[in-house]
Amino acid sequence: MTAMKVKSLSGLLLAALCIGLPAAAQTYPVKPVHLIVPFPAGGATDILSRALSAELGRKLGQPVVVDNKPGAGGTIGALAAAKAVPDGYTLLLTTSSTHSIGAAINPRIPYNAEADFTPIVYVASSPQLLVVPNSSPAKTLREFIDYARKNPGRLNYASSGNGTISNLSTEVFKQQSGTFLVHIPYRGTGLAMPDLISGKVDLLIDSLISGMPHVRDGRVRALAVTSPKRTSLAPELPTVAEVLPGYESVNWFGVYGPRGLPADIVAKVNQAANAALTSAEVKDRFARLGAEPVGGTPEAFAAAVRAETAKWKKLAAERKITLD
């Protein structure tokens, strides 16, 4: 075989290989990226995703489209992301509910929260907020606890679904406060808020991100925050721990991809997300929402989630908390 024929054959083989290369090996991204949010519009995760997605899209060079897939405490959307093709065009922005608490206490969760996903970046953290309707006789957390103790089983609380952080945070609150509140699960706290405003719901532990705008607009009353110390995001509010020592519940938000997401795509999305989180616009929007940007490496994010999962698992076991 002549040298010319060898070069020609080599060129044909190279061209054939290039045609068959997966999208991950080509320049990423070349089309819009879908960011699944496993909760309804109007909830904390949705609000945060929209504050992040525009700037993340600019850093990636392609639009990032928010795709709400609510239901089953966030597991429907999380499962959809787990089953997606690992090409970087379907990502998941999720929370403690689907990847820490669900993994810790839900034996029926339809995915492995660690093995079925690729961690990309820790986006933000935010404390929870205890809110009651304006019609509630309780003006303080102590008053609410006293009122609930005098009316066992007559008051209810809403959550974003069984096994979510709002559900477990309230169950821990019930146990520490010695109160009995009936659980009403919703598909997201955004859907529960109208019933809280109208007085059909007596208590909601919601993210500061989605709950505080209703407080500032005078539609509901905030009693306390769930961070261990008073937060600069709402310095006027006491902590639950001031009445119930040791109480703490802080929600995290992070981006995952499906299992098997190529390392180069993980690195590119992580780099773009970290750049977005340090931009003045995103930092300002997060601060106004009540969230603190975090960022960092995929490895640091994975380690933080493992620690959080272990904490909730230990707490659930100690307090004998299980799903309904």
For residue 287, the domain's CATH number is 3.40.190.150
| 24 is a domain residue | no
**Domain count across the chain:** 2
Two tokens, residue 76: 């429907």
Q: In this predicted model, which residue has the larger pLDDT, 68 or 15? A: 68
Contact status, residue 117 vs residue 257, Cβ threshold 8 Å: yes
Tell me the one-letter amino acid at 170: T
The vertex-52 CA angle with 48 and 55, nearest 5°, equals 165
Mean pLDDT throughout 45-70? Answer: 96
Per-residue pLDDT at 186 exceeds 90 = yes
| 17 is a domain residue | no
Residue 4: predicted pLDDT: 41
| 96 is a domain residue | yes
| 15 is a domain residue | no
User: Looking at 219, 242, 265, which one is the last position of a domain?
Assistant: 242
pTM score, whole prediction: 0.80
Burial annotation 286-303 (CB, 10 A radius, 16+ → b, else e): beebbbbbbbbbbeebbe
Comparing CA positions, the residue from 146, 157, 148, 142 lying closest to residue 202 is 157
Claim to verify: residue 66 and residue 39 sit in the same structural domain: yes
Measured over the CA atoms of residue 211, residue 215, residue 220 and residue 221, the dihedral's sign is: positive
Claim to verify: residue 134 and residue 119 sit in the same structural domain: no
Claim to verify: residue 145 and residue 234 sit in the same structural domain: yes
Maximum C-alpha span of the chain? 96
**Cis before residue 258, ω within 30 degrees of 0?**
no
Comparing CA positions, the residue from 111, 115, 110, 86 lying closest to residue 25 is 86
- Condensed to tens digits (0 to 9), the pLDDT of residues 111-161 reads 999 999 999 999 999 999 999 999 999 999 999 999 999 999 999 999 988
User: Looking at 242, 273, 307, which one is the last position of a domain?
Assistant: 242
Claim to verify: residue 141 and residue 178 sit in the same structural domain: yes
| 303 is a domain residue | yes
Burial annotation 146-168 (CB, 10 A radius, 16+ → b, else e): ebbeeeeeebebbbbbbbbbbbb
Claim to verify: residue 106 and residue 139 sit in the same structural domain: no
| Residue 276 domain boundaries | 31-126+250-318
Contact status, residue 135 vs residue 306, Cβ threshold 8 Å: no
| 324 is a domain residue | no
Claim to verify: residue 165 and residue 198 sit in the same structural domain: yes
Mean pLDDT throughout 219-223? Answer: 98
> Using 50, 70 and 90 to split pLDDT, how confident is the model at 104?
confident
Q: What is the CATH number of the domain that holds 213?
A: 3.40.190.10
In the beta sheet, which residues pair with residue 220?
133
